[in-house]
Amino acid sequence: METKQRTDQRAEQQSAAERRRRELLEAADRVVLRDGPGASMNAIAAEAGITKPILYRHFGDKGGLYAALAKRHTDALLSSLRAALDAPAERRERVEATLDTYLAAIEARPQVYRFLMHPAEGAPVEAGFDVGRHSAPLLRRMGEELAEVIEERVDLGPGSQQLARVWGHGIVGMMHAAGDWWLGERPCSRAELVRGLADLLWGRLAAAGDKAGGPGF
């Protein structure tokens, strides 16, 4: 009986800790939506109604909080990307839907994107926190996930696993770089960017002729 009671108590404590962690992440999300890359541990602790030492107890430091937020948002984004890739449509339509899903996500929550990918300009860097060290694994994870999807769904012939990884990381790098540029400058509509990127993936670069007088590409 005592063993069962101890097991039940541990389960309740774990459930309470997980619930409290979700609440703190939701508070962090609210601050990030408001402050973007300038979101501080002090502001997040205040939003959650706790002291900063208590926040550190849950996440260790800003890097730990960042990793938890990155996983939260990356999980949701990857789920949406997989749904777009699995939709019953022609391949070109699914490619465009996948690109649009990513761009729509960063457009809908630009402050969250900037917090995850860019340090605050002019703001002091908190001790031990390097945004590049934390954002790189996020992009690598997306690349590996996309590689798995490509290998599952496209017949690439011999060496398919390696080629799928090349394509997965290459496509994620393209989406990230193009999306970052587009979010900052807005030189065209999201639909136009989607079509342009899909054209590139669809081999338009290889099919296009060289301009007269140029050395080619």
Segment 16-62, tens digit of pLDDT: 778 888 999 999 999 998 998 888 899 999 999 999 998 888 888 88
Higher local confidence (pLDDT), 124 or 112:
112
Give residue for tokens 């990030």: 32
Domains of the chain by start residue, with CATH: 2-205 (1.10.357.10)
C-alpha gyration radius of the chain: 21
Burial class (CB in 10 A: 0-12, 13-18, 19+), 78: middle
Alpha helices per DSSP H over 36-125:
41-48, 52-59, 62-86, 91-108, 110-117
pLDDT at residue 137 greater than cutoff 90: no
What's the predicted TM-score (pTM) here?
A: 0.79
**Residue 149: what pLDDT?**
84
List the single range of 76-90, 120-134, 197-211 with lowest mean pLDDT.
Answer: 120-134
Are 183 and 107 contacting, i.e. CB atoms less than 8 angstroms apart? yes
Residues 35/73, Cβ–Cβ less than 8 Å: no
What's residue 118's pLDDT? 80
Q: Across all residues in the chain, what is the average pLDDT?
A: 83
